[in-house]
Amino acid sequence: MDYTQNTKANLPHINQLYSSIWDNHPIIGQIGGWVCDKDTGALKYKLHKTDWTKKTDGTPAVLTGEDGDVMVKVPAYYLKITMESYGQPRYEIDDTIPDRHATNGRPGFFVHPAFLTKSGKVKPYILVAAYKGHILNNQLRSISGVVPTVNQNIGSFTDKARQGRNTGANKHDITRFYERLACNLLMYIEFGDLDMQTAIGKGISEFSWDEGSAGTTLRVTGQSNSLGDRSGYVVAEDGRTNGKVSIRWRGIEDYWGNVWEFVNGFMISDTGYHYTNDVTKFLNMGAMETYAKDLSAKVPNGYIKDMEKIPGKEWMMIPKTTGGSASTYWCDYFWSHDPTEQNIALAGGRWYDGALCGPACWTCNNVASDTASDLGARLSCSEEDAA
């Protein structure tokens, strides 16, 4: 079955009244929008599956910040990886929702590490911001109808994400590396494809630099709210369509395109790749786990052809080689580490990157002090162990 036919991108002649065969899946079908307390991350009310302007009971929802942040709840899941004879991994997810200590999984399945605390307890879900981040009253927020905040470095965005928060079990931050990988994998499994710009939509990726810089009202959040928890894009009232409007996957808007997103928990040096899901170690490369690899010679920038196969961490999709294209292999572009530097990572692409954008699109040649008008961030929140 061609699962790509379950999005607005592939049904452009249809209004928003369509559905996906995955809508009732125990894991993927439960991904959806909530309004959450802006400081504690507590769930306040569920948004309507087919139209976020409403709550589930049909009454109006408030998405502009007064009721809280608009977040997408992604449930924990079991994963199994089998290495095929041709050298590539085969990914499976189980229908079983993990219990708190991961005791109910089938043989060979494990909980995706994005959903584990340091002590190994299962996080029932993670909250991924529905929109690119906007700083309001010194906090990074996820709200509709605003222009994404830019011109801050990764440390500043991290501070604004945590500002006035993180006193309880739920911890706010910007997008974590492990979280992005967990969402990417669910997306690829749902659509059975790696070309997400074709499956879901191009995103805000086909403006010129000047159009996107001057026309910030064209890049405001919430353009796809009428899709609810579904995937695709909405044609704008002024006629803008695929390539110049936001895309949405299961409620997460602008997962690629618009502005780059800083990602915490992933750094790169000449000695290899460094990663962690421990918030206390973000931006501290020496404290992270390392996959040793000689990166003193630059990997050529280009479309991703293959990913690293890190033993025991084959779920960790780190670009290895380039030489693909916009429609072959991983279909997304990779700007690699600059030798001699300690680099951070940004994901997704921006308003003028066109076919280079996508869920696996990474730029890994920035440093932690970098700021720019096309660099932004996304809020996230998940449970952590008590200190």
Q: Are 229 and 50 in contact (CB under 8 A)?
A: yes
Name the phi and psi angles at 301, rounded to 5: -60, 145
Here the tokens at position 186 are: 């669910």
What pLDDT, on the 0 to 100 scale, is given for residue 17?
Answer: 64
Beta strands in 115-169 (DSSP E): 125-129, 134-136, 139-141
Q: Are 316 and 308 in contact (CB under 8 A)?
A: yes
Name the phi and psi angles at 265, rounded to 5: 90, 15
Q: Are 285 and 262 in contact (CB under 8 A)?
A: no
Here the tokens at position 239 are: 């006629």
What pLDDT, on the 0 to 100 scale, is given for residue 2?
Answer: 67
Query: How far is it, in rounded angstroms, from Cα 273 to Cα 386?
Result: 28
Half-sphere exposure of residue 309, counting CA atoms within 13 Å on the CB side?
11
Query: How far is it, in rounded angstroms, from Cα 318 to Cα 337?
Result: 12
Q: Are 33 and 67 in contact (CB under 8 A)?
A: no
What is the mean pLDDT for each group of 10 consecutive residues in the chain (387 residues)?
A: 68 65 91 97 96 95 98 98 88 95 96 96 97 98 98 98 92 97 96 93 97 94 93 91 95 98 98 96 95 97 96 95 97 98 98 98 98 98 84
| pTM for this prediction | 0.95
Q: Are 358 and 334 in contact (CB under 8 A)?
A: no
- Sign of the CA dihedral with 317 first, then 321, 327, and 328 last: negative
Using alpha carbons, select from 71, 258, 70 the residue that is nearest to residue 147.
258
Helix (H) or strand (E) holding 210: helix 209-214
Helix (H) or strand (E) holding 183: helix 177-191
Using alpha carbons, select from 259, 277, 268 the residue that is nearest to residue 320.
268
What pLDDT, on the 0 to 100 scale, is given for residue 302?
Answer: 98
